[in-house]
């Protein structure tokens, strides 16, 4: 998995599924098992464990990787297994008023990060992993490095944050200078950059925009590092803000990204532009946000809305009233 540069989270997930698969079959070696054992395990996940289709597909992907890449086994039989279909769900989108209410319940660093999620359409980890060099205040842009799928992209920086970020970055710089004096100030660098540029891990451009509050010691090098703020800090803060704002939607951090795309569509932004800002490979993924842009689903006006235009119905006449002698 590391030879193929899979993300650490993918590595952790695949490893866990492989262990569960082996334990489920009484710790038999995977080379002794085949389609029957894999089908039985995946069926148990769906019928007994009641996992979602995406969870079942993740387990299948881990086992495909195990047999194809690790054991180098001919797995033509594995390719024919039926993958569970994910249900089509619509994203949770907040209105502009609701977004303002949520942000109004936040303060400090969580508020800056949440505003960046909504104002730039970032994912939670994309926001947490931003470095100083990725923020361009003059060009009004944010560079997202190694995002989902290992792709870089450029998105916009709200004018609101161009006014508020400088003060935050100045406090981060002061903290970094104190770390340097204390013999710390290191950050983790991607790939082998730490060996290529030994001093880069203490340079200002490589520091995190949202650093953690504590320092840790690297067990391999002995250097005192500061990690970026953990994403759960922001997730908990946003969840609490949604509750305090009395919003009756199951909204979280990713809802701010959904709201970013939906509100851009409502303001007339081209969907291809939104696709690039979000980093979607396929425009069909971006098309899901069109469901709230129209006047109700499918652009249809409810017949109940016509009642307010036509006014209340006239009272029914009594039997025989208004009849003539010829009727």
Contact 61, 42 (CB under 8 A): no
Catalytic site residue from 68, 148, 168, 225:
148
Reply yes or no on whether 257 is catalytic.
Answer: yes
Is 225 an annotated catalytic residue?
Answer: no
Two structure tokens written together for 7: 């993300």
- Catalytic entry in 176, 228, 257, 258: 257
Question: Which has the closest alpha carbon to 120: 279, 3, 236, 304?
Answer: 279
Q: Is 280 a catalytic residue?
A: yes
**Residue 216 annotated to the active site:** no
Q: Which residues pair with 144 in a beta bridge?
A: 153
Alpha-carbon separation of residue 30 from 18, 19, 34, 44, 64 (angstroms): 9, 10, 8, 18, 11
Q: 163 an active-site residue? A: no
14, 67, 186, 289: the active-site residue: 289
Which element (helix H / strand E) includes 66?
none
- From the list 227, 6, 238, 256, the residue with the least C-alpha distance to 131 is 227
Catalytic residue check, 85 = no
Residue 160 to residues 81, 116, 118, 137, 178, Cα–Cα distance (Å): 50, 10, 12, 11, 29
3-class SS of residue 173: helix
Residue of 176, 226, 228, 280 marked catalytic: 280
Q: Indicate which residue of 254, 263, 276, 323 is catalytic.
A: 254
Q: b or e along 216-253 (b: 16 or more beta carbons within 10 Å of the residue's beta carbon)?
A: eeeeeeebebbebbebebbeebbeebbeebebeeebbb
> Of residues 123, 176, 228, 263, which has the active-site annotation?
123
- Catalytic residue list: 123, 148, 254, 257, 280, 289
């Amino acid at each position: 998995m590391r030879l193929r540069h899979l993300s650490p989270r993918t590595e952790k997930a695949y490893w866990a599924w492989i262990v569960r698969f082996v334990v489920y079959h009484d710790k038999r070696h995977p080379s002794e098992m085949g389609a029957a054992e894999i089908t039985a395990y995946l069926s148990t996940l769906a019928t007994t464990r009641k996992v979602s289709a995406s969870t079942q597909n993740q387990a299948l992907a881990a086992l495909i990787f195990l047999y194809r890449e690790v054991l180098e086994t001919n797995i033509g039989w594995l390719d024919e297994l039926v993958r569970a279909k994910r249900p089509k769900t619509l994203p949770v989108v907040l209105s502009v008023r609701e977004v303002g209410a949520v942000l109004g319940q936040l303060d400090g660093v969580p508020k800056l990060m949440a505003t960046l999620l909504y104002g730039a359409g970032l994912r939670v980890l994309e926001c947490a992993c931003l470095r100083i060099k990725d923020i361009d205040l003059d060009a009004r842009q944010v560079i997202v490095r190694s995002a989902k799928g290992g792709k870089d992209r450029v998105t916009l920086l709200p004018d609101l944050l161009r006014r508020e970020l400088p003060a935050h970055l100045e406090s981060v710089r002061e903290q970094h200078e104190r770390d340097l004096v204390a013999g710390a100030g290191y950050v983790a660098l991607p790939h082998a950059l730490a060996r290529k540029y030994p001093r880069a891990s203490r340079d200002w451009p490589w520091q995190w925009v949202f650093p953690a509050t504590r320092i840790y010691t690297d067990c391999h090098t002995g250097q005192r590092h500061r990690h970026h703020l953990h994403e759960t800090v922001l997730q908990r803060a946003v969840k609490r803000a949604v509750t305090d704002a009395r919003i009756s939607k199951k909204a979280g951090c990713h809802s701010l990204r959904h709201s970013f795309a939906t509100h851009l569509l409502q303001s007339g932004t081209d969907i291809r532009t939104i696709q690039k800002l979000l980093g979607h490979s396929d425009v069909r993924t971006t098309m899901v946000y069109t469901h709230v842009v129209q006047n109700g689903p499918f652009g249809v006006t409810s017949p109940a809305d016509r009642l307010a235009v036509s006014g209340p119905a006239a009272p029914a006449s009594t039997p025989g009233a208004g009849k003539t002698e010829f009727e």
